[in-house]
């Protein structure tokens, strides 16, 4: 079973508001969540792009979790195409300075709400980006087991390194006199202890805890009460990393195979994936029609299409292919496109079009003129009511 939970942080403060004390360690809370979540989404508004001091500290608190971070440049329809390119470049430059990662962060551009776009020129880009973002979120259940296993490995190695550090500090402490001065000296020269342990035990530098945080914590500790190193416990950790982890790792592909053919359904993923209609990813083509709207989206313009249909002299309620062609070619679309429109509109495949099929053909032509792609097969929600 996959249980999902979305956690939204309080709004980031900017300007004079940053001087207000929240009453708790905000960045500390972010660090706690960052260790436990599967995905971290940073939202930026395209029309008021800035990174306040608190936002910068918040992003810095997420270091070490770069693989979880995704960037969303939201409300991108509030600016035109040229401004959007400039904003995108500025965002990438600013994030590069804050994140300090060798890889460029993935940025999703769009307008993630249900209101009409202010600038429609980038509509197709926004729809593609929306699909990519939802597919990324849908992949989380399949990757969750691997992430948890990696976290287990990371914590086990950190615990092992922590044991070495604590044992070394205890060993260096005097038995009776000069404990306070020696403690301060050890904390001050903690980097030298890191180097020593790294050489003696062949430990990767990335396995050591942050030195500044470690120094802050050690300042309130009594080194003489630290436990000595227990080799047997370290051996258990080593066996777990060498043997048990490989067994767990072998089971993960089985879980992935079991879920690969079944996408996550329901909740946030309802009516967002492009599985039926290539027309704007199900937007505005009737799939999202409310109870108060027509059952068939083409019906909204059918009266206009019926007027054209009657002028083509239908026989027994249908027009011939040549008669329909005379009207369809007025769109100036290529014959290959019009041929595809005909195949989709001639639902009953009788070589003629009735009033509903003709209205559908005109609707598809207008969709193509608006810059959308035609589907390989007619989506269910566009099938004329009498043909369902």
In degrees, to the nearest 5, what angle opens at C-alpha 237 toward C-alphas 233 and 243?
135
Task: State whether the Cα torsion 372-376-379-382 is positive or negative.
Answer: positive
CA atoms lying within 13 Å on the CB side of residue 132 = 14
Q: What is the DSSP string of 196-213?
A: HHHHHHT--GGGSPPHHH
pLDDT at position 120, please? 72
Question: Could you report the per-residue pLDDT of 125-163, keeping only the tens digit for each?
Answer: 888 888 888 888 887 876 777 778 888 888 888 899 999
Long-range contacts, 156-159 (Cβ 8 Å, 24+): 156/237, 156/240, 156/241, 157/207, 157/241, 158/207, 158/209, 159/237
Cα–Cα dist 134/91, whole Å = 22
Cα–Cα dist 384/299, whole Å = 9
Cα–Cα dist 373/24, whole Å = 52
Residues paired with 315 in a beta bridge: 318
In which band, very low, low, confident or very high, does the pLDDT at 261 lie, cut at 50, 70 and 90? very low
Query: What is the side-by-side strand order in the sheet with 107-109?
Result: 40-45, 69-74, 107-109
Ranges in the chain annotated CATH 3.40.50.300: 15-138
Cα–Cα dist 258/157, whole Å = 31
15-138: CATH topology: Rossmann fold (3.40.50)
Question: Which of 102-116, 229-243, 319-333 has the weakest average pLDDT?
Answer: 102-116
Long-range contacts, 217-220 (Cβ 8 Å, 24+): 218/169, 218/183, 218/186, 218/187, 218/190, 219/187
Cα–Cα dist 207/152, whole Å = 13
Percent of the chain with pLDDT over 70: 81
Residues paired with 108 in a beta bridge: 72
Question: Could you report the per-residue pLDDT of 318-353, keeping only the tens digit for each?
Answer: 999 999 999 999 988 888 889 889 999 999 999 999
Of 314, 297, 296, give the one whose Cα is nearest residue 355.
314
Task: Please enumerate in sequence order all residues whose Cβ is within 8 A of that of 381, keeping only pairs 6 or more positions apart, or say none.
Answer: 276, 277, 285, 286, 287, 289, 296, 297
Task: Please enumerate in sequence order all residues whose Cβ is within 8 A of that of 18, keeping only pairs 6 or more positions apart, or say none.
Answer: 52, 53, 54
Q: Into which CATH architecture does domain 143-257 fall?
A: Orthogonal Bundle (1.10)
Question: How many residues are listed for the chain in this entry?
Answer: 388
State the DSSP code for 267: G
Kindly report the average pLDDT of the chain as a whole number.
79
Ranges in the chain annotated CATH 1.10.268.20: 143-257
pLDDT at position 174, please? 85
Ranges in the chain annotated CATH 1.10.238.10: 280-387
Of 37, 106, 112, 31, give the one whose Cα is nearest residue 70.
106
CATH of 280-387, one of 2.60.40.3880, 1.10.1040.10, 3.30.2130.10, 1.10.238.10: 1.10.238.10
CB 137 within 8 A of CB 268: yes
């Amino acid at each position: 079973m996959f249980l999902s939970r979305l956690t939204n942080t309080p709004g980031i403060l900017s300007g004079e508001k940053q001087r207000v004390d929240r009453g708790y360690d905000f960045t500390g809370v972010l660090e706690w969540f960052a260790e436990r979540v599967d995905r971290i989404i940073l939202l930026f508004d395209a029309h008021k792009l800035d990174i306040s001091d608190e936002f910068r500290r918040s992003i810095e608190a997420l270091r070490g979790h770069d693989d979880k971070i995704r960037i969303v440049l939201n409300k991108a329809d509030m600016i035109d195409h040229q401004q959007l390119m400039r904003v995108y470049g500025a965002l990438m430059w600013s994030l590069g300075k804050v994140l300090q990662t060798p890889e460029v962060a993935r940025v999703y551009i769009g307008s993630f709400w249900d209101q009409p776009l202010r600038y429609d020129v980038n509509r197709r880009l926004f729809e593609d980006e929306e699909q990519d973002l939802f597919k990324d979120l849908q992949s989380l259940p399949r990757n969750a087991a691997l992430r948890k296993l990696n976290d287990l490995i990371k914590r086990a190695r950190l615990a092992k390194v922590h044991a070495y550090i604590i044992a070394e500090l205890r060993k260096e402490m005097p038995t009776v006199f000069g404990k306070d001065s020696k403690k301060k000296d050890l904390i001050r020269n903690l980097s030298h202890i890191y180097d020593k342990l790294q050489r003696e035990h062949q430990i990767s530098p990335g396995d050591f805890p942050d030195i500044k945080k470690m120094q802050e914590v050690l300042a309130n500790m009594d080194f003489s009460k630290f436990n000595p190193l227990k080799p047997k416990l370290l051996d258990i950790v080593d066996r777990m990393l060498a043997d048990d982890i490989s067994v767990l790792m072998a089971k993960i592909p089985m879980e992935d195979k079991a879920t690969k053919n079944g996408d996550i359904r329901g909740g946030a993923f309802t009516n967002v994936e492009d599985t039926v209609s290539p027309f704007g990813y199900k937007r505005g083509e009737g799939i999202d029609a409310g109870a108060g709207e027509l059952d068939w989206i083409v019906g909204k313009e059918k009266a206009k299409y019926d007027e054209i249909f009657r002028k083509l002299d239908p026989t027994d309620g249908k027009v011939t292919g040549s008669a329909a062609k005379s009207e369809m070619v007025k769109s100036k679309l290529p014959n290959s496109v019009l041929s595809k429109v005909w195949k989709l509109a001639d639902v009953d495949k009788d070589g003629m079009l009735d009033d509903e099929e003709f209205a559908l053909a005109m609707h598809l032509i207008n969709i193509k003129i608006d810059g959308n792609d035609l589907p390989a097969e007619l989506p269910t929600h566009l099938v004329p009511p009498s043909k369902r």
